[in-house]
Amino acid sequence: MGLTLNVPAGEVFGLLGHNGAGKTTTVNLLTTLLEPSSGDATINGHSVTADAAGVRRSIGYLPENVQFYDDLTLLENLRFFARLSGLRRPDARIRDVLSFLDFEGHDNQKIGMFSKGMRQRVGIAQAVLHEPAVLFLDEPTSGLDPEGVRTLRETIVRLNREFGMTVFMNTHLLSEVTKTCTSIGILNHGALVHHDSLANTLAAFPAEDSLEDIYFRLDVTSPS
């Protein structure tokens, strides 16, 4: 199945779908972690097939269940990723980002000691260090407690509003989508069955109480 999708700059886009619908594969293709067997995609003006390096310079990526080098400290981890993103002297930028995330005072602690919520904040930090135009988040709330979910949601919204970052988010938590996303797409068996702004989507189904009901109305079913 082919996928045709256009996410305008400045959106917080939520890609929804059941397990195995192809959400992670889509993100892997868009972040150039996978090469497409056919077709193409353009991120911030760069083609994933012809200019993968340009795409990588434009994006930040937070994978599901992000992990780090546990024996290294927070600062050492972030310095490494910042330098790989091309920042020569990254310390000042790291401090700014940690301050933005309200995550100061842990610089010299080894990441191996961090909780899931703390790791997720480090995950966001490493993804935005180099001020990417587009931020890809794969199931960012997976495994977080309610407080962690709320903090992450607020961070995503701030990154979008304060820095104009375009956010592309994979999720199957429909309640989070209504609070975070400006537009949504629904993927089913590798095909996009719905794509519109959140407001239009909710308006198009006045009879349904929630996004969850709309989701099932669109006949998105898991493969049996």
Sole window of 11-19, 75-83, 101-109, 140-148 interacting with another protein (rule: CB under 8 A): 75-83
Q: Are 59 and 132 in contact (CB under 8 A)?
A: yes
Q: Are 164 and 132 in contact (CB under 8 A)?
A: no
Counting contacts by CB under 8 A, is residue 37 touching another protein? no
Task: Give the list of residues 6+ apart from residue 25 with CB closer than 8 angstroms, or none.
Answer: 34, 190
Its sign, for the CA torsion 215, 195, 188, 156, is negative
- Residues 218, 221: Cα–Cα separation, whole Å: 9
Q: How far is the CB of 33 from another protein (least distance, A)?
A: 6
CB-nearer residue toward another protein: 101 or 174? 101
Residue 17 or 63: the one with the smaller Cβ distance to another protein is 63
4, 37, 38, 53: residue in contact with another protein (rule CB under 8 A): 53
The answer to the question of residue 83 lying near another protein (CB under 8 A) is: yes
When the beta carbons of 30 and 211 are compared against another protein, the nearer one is: 30
Phi, psi (degrees; rounded to nearest 5) at 51: -140, 60
The yes or no reply on residue 80 touching another protein (CB under 8 A) is yes
* Shortest Cβ 158–another protein spacing (Å): 22
- CA torsion sign, 127 to 133 to 138 to 143? positive
- 75 forms part of the interface with another protein (CB under 8 A): no
Output the six-digit token pair for 136: 């890809």
Who contacts 17 (Cβ-Cβ below 8 Å, separation ≥6)?
Answer: 23, 172, 186, 187, 188, 220
Among 155, 163, 143, 142, CA closest to 102? 155
* Greatest alpha-carbon span in the chain: 55
Binder of another protein out of 9, 84, 203, 204 (CB under 8 A):
84
Nearer residue to another protein within complex by CB, 110 or 195: 110
Q: Does residue 61 bind another protein (CB under 8 A)?
A: yes
Q: Is 71 in the site for another protein (CB under 8 A)?
A: yes
Distance CA 72, CA 77 (A): 6
How near is the Cβ of 67 to another protein at its closest, in Å? 4
With contacts defined by CB under 8 A, name the span among 80-88, 99-107, 151-159, 202-210 that binds another protein.
Answer: 80-88
Looking at residues 100 to 129 of the shown chain, list those that interact with another protein (rule: CB under 8 A). 126
- Chain residues in the site for another protein (CB under 8 A): 31-33, 35, 53, 56-57, 59-61, 63, 65-72, 76, 80-81, 83-86, 88, 126, 136
